């Protein structure tokens, strides 16, 4: 009986050991697989966490820089306020002493007191002028004195902060070298003069009792130099001898005038005669008939907006530059000379090229049937449609398809180089600007118009201003939107080889 109990206990002990150490090779292998899968997931999780940490550190650095700039500005304004308060307190103390003296004196002393009154008033004038010089908000300050006599008109006196205009006076002189003028304003004197004459009726202002109006040439020069260099407003202020807020106002006023007056003349969709000439020139370049324009979309960097931040977040630029980037888009169609015939400005940087196209006036024009029988050439970021011609995107291309893509690339390069000259000539498009988001479309539109004027007047751009254009193209979700367009593209590709317009690079 005891032997049976011992044998039973031994079997139970053996079963427990098997359960603890695994019941075979199969369970051991399963455990190893689970451990491997867990290692892979851990590695992926670490990579995700590392990316998040990098983005968080960048945001923290940006926040620290912003807080530092904000603190510097606060200290600057506090210092100005203290100085102005001290000046006014000194004046008030002098005024009180004066009144005490005049109360005690009579007769001849009163007459002398009135003379002293003039001195106190002069001290007041100097004190207020000193306080005005500390204020960086504007460059002109006025003070109105009381009426003198029943028939006397109000006498006004103007205090102006002394600012040097030596640089602009030098540029504005007839002796200033043409080459130096072109380097500063990205155009020759004749082109600049033409723009001033065109805008004169809109931007000119009349003199007032308080100040003389800024001349038209100086107004236009402030705007163009700001767009050309992209320098901050404080440097524009020093160059032209004007207040910072005045310079900001002038830039927006002149850009608005350019959009109102010059855009209808220098940036418009071609008429029938011009369209025929454009088609012939594009066909001479590529052998592809009925091409009315070459299309491209670029991104303009901006400061993170206060609303809809996610919409303007540029994921591809952020990943490439390892720095949080926000942008807006500019879509443009150009002719063979790189002159814009259509632009669409201001859609958020998170939108791909095909979605920007669908939001544009060009797309609406096509839906109304106004682009029948013509092609707009685009890159791989656009879909193939009845009026949009794009290259083949599949992996394995035939000789005919590859030759077609080469010719499409020649036309697409025209638009790409036009945008490179646009950004190279107007450096304000290369970096984040101080202009508010709602004002950016007006400024960007003015840059496109000025680009067209320079191109039409054969203004040669300095090679030092060449800009490397980097924009990521994403294949649209629906790359093929028309079967007829697919057949038409195949026919064009076949005719290019049949008429010996393509394929020469394979033979060389």
- The string of pLDDT tens digits covering residues 306-321 is 888 999 999 888 888 8
What is the rounded end-to-end Cα distance, in angstroms, of the chain?
101
Report yes or no: 233 and 244 within 8 Å, Cβ to Cβ.
yes
Angle at 506 between CA 505 and CA 508, to 5 degrees: 65
H-helix or E-strand spanning residue 17: helix 2-21
Task: Say how far apart CA 82 and CA 182 lie, in whole Å.
Answer: 45
Give 121-181 as a DSSP string. Answer: HHHHHHHHHHHHHH--S-SEEEEEPPP-SSSPPPPEEEEE-----HHHHHHTSTTS-HHHH
Which region among 60-69, 98-107, 279-288 has the lowest average model confidence (pLDDT)?
98-107
H-helix or E-strand spanning residue 405: helix 399-425
Burial of 28 (0-12, 13-18, 19+ CB in 10 A): exposed
Mean pLDDT of 139-151: 39
- What is residue 68's predicted lDDT score, i.e. its pLDDT? 78
Give the CA distances from residue 314 to residues 55, 301, 309, in Å, rounded to whole numbers and listed in that order: 13, 9, 10
Mean pLDDT of 175-185: 95
Predicted confidence (pLDDT) at residue 504 exceeds the cutoff of 60: no
Give the CA distances from residue 501 to residues 167, 222, 257, 455, 493, in Å, rounded to whole numbers and listed in that order: 54, 49, 45, 29, 10
Residue 283's φ and ψ, nearest 5 degrees, are -65, -35
Report yes or no: 159 and 267 within 8 Å, Cβ to Cβ.
no
Q: Would you tell me how many other CB atoms lie within 10 Å of the CB of residue 325?
A: 21
Task: Say how far apart CA 255 and CA 250 lie, in whole Å.
Answer: 8
Residue 53's φ and ψ, nearest 5 degrees, are -65, -40
Task: Say how far apart CA 80 and CA 84 lie, in whole Å.
Answer: 6
Q: Please, what is the average pLDDT of the chain?
A: 81
Which tokens sit at 2?
């005891």
What pTM was computed for the model? 0.68
Task: Say how far apart CA 251 and CA 203 lie, in whole Å.
Answer: 11
Segment 206-261, tens digit of pLDDT: 888 778 899 999 999 999 999 999 999 999 999 999 999 999 999 999 999 999 99
- Who wins on pLDDT, 444 or 10? 444
Segment 3-30, tens digit of pLDDT: 555 656 655 554 444 444 444 444 444 5
Give the CA distances from residue 200 to residues 204, 263, 451, in Å, rounded to whole numbers and listed in that order: 5, 15, 20
Which region among 36-40, 231-235, 272-276 has the lowest average model confidence (pLDDT)?
36-40
Report yes or no: 258 and 199 within 8 Å, Cβ to Cβ.
yes
Predicted confidence (pLDDT) at residue 180 exceeds the cutoff of 90: yes
Residue with tokens 């203004």: 459
Q: Would you tell me how many other CB atoms lie within 10 Å of the CB of residue 136?
A: 15
- Who wins on pLDDT, 281 or 394? 281
Helical spans, DSSP H, in 204-314: 216-229, 233-240, 244-257, 263-266, 272-286, 309-312
Mean pLDDT of 83-108: 62
- What is residue 211's predicted lDDT score, i.e. its pLDDT? 80
Name which of 320, 302, 298 is nearest 312 in CA terms: 302
Beta-carbon contacts of 423 under 8 Å, excluding residues fewer than 6 positions away, are: 298, 429, 430, 467, 469
Which region among 133-147, 195-209, 267-281, 326-340 has the lowest average model confidence (pLDDT)?
133-147
- What is residue 125's predicted lDDT score, i.e. its pLDDT? 47
- What is residue 27's predicted lDDT score, i.e. its pLDDT? 47
Burial of 326 (0-12, 13-18, 19+ CB in 10 A): buried
Give the CA distances from residue 277 to residues 215, 241, 289, in Å, rounded to whole numbers and listed in that order: 40, 47, 12
What is the DSSP-derived secondary structure letter of residue 439? G
Predicted confidence (pLDDT) at residue 338 exceeds the cutoff of 90: yes
Beta-carbon contacts of 234 under 8 Å, excluding residues fewer than 6 positions away, are: 244
Cα torsion 405, 408, 414, 416: sign: negative
Report yes or no: 350 and 312 within 8 Å, Cβ to Cβ.
yes
């Amino acid at each position: 009986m005891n032997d049976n109990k011992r044998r039973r206990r031994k079997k139970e002990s053996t079963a427990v050991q098997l359960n603890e150490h695994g019941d075979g090779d199969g369970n051991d292998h399963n455990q190893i697989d689970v451990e491997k899968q867990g290692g892979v997931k851990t590695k992926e999780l670490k990579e995700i966490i590392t990316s998040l940490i990098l983005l968080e550190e960048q945001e923290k650095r940006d926040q620290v820089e912003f807080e530092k700039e904000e603190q510097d500005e606060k200290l600057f304004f506090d210092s100005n306020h203290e100085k102005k308060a001290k000046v006014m307190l000194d004046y008030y103390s002098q005024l009180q002493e004066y009144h005490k003296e005049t109360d005690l004196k009579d007769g001849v002393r009163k007459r002398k007191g009135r003379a002293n009154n003039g001195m106190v008033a002069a001290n007041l004038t100097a004190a207020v002028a000193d306080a005005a010089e500390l204020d960086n908000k504007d460059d002109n300050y006025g003070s109105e004195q009381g009426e003198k006599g029943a028939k006397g008109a109000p006498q006004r006196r103007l205090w102006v902060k002394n600012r040097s205009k030596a640089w602009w006076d030098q540029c504005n002189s007839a002796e200033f070298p043409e080459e130096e003028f072109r380097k500063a304003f990205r155009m020759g004197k004749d082109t600049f003069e033409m723009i001033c004459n065109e805008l004169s009726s809109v931007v000119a202002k009349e003199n007032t009792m308080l100040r003389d109006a800024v001349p038209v040439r100086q107004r236009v020069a402030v705007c163009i130099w700001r767009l050309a260099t992209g320098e901050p407003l404080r440097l524009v202020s020093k160059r032209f001898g004007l207040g910072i807020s005045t310079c900001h106002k002038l830039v927006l006023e002149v850009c608005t005038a350019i959009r109102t007056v010059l855009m209808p003349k220098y940036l418009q969709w071609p008429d029938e005669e011009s369209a025929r000439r454009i088609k012939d020139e594009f066909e001479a370049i590529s052998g592809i008939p009925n091409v009315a324009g070459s299309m491209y979309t670029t991104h303009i960097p901006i400061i993170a907006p206060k609303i809809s931040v996610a919409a303007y977040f540029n994921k591809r630029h952020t990943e490439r530059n390892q720095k949080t980037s926000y942008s807006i888009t500019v879509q443009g169609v150009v002719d063979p000379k790189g002159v814009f015939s259509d632009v669409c400005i201001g859609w958020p940087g998170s939108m791909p090229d095909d979605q920007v196209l669908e939001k544009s006036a060009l797309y609406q024009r096509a839906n109304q049937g106004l682009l029948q029988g013509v092609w707009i050439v685009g890159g791989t970021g656009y879909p193939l449609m009845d009026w949009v011609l794009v290259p083949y995107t599949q992996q394995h291309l035939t000789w005919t398809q590859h030759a077609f893509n080469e010719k499409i690339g020649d036309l697409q390069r025209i638009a790409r180089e036009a945008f490179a000259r646009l950004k190279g000539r107007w450096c304000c498009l290369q970096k984040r600007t101080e202009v508010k988001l709602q004002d950016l479309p007006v400024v960007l539109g003015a840059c496109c118009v000025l680009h067209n004027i320079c191109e039409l007047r054969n203004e040669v751009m300095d090679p030092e201003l060449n800009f490397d254009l980097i924009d990521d193209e994403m294949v649209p979700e629906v790359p093929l939107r028309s079967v007829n367009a697919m057949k038409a593209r195949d026919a064009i590709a076949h005719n290019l080889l049949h008429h010996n317009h393509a394929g020469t690079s394979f033979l060389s």
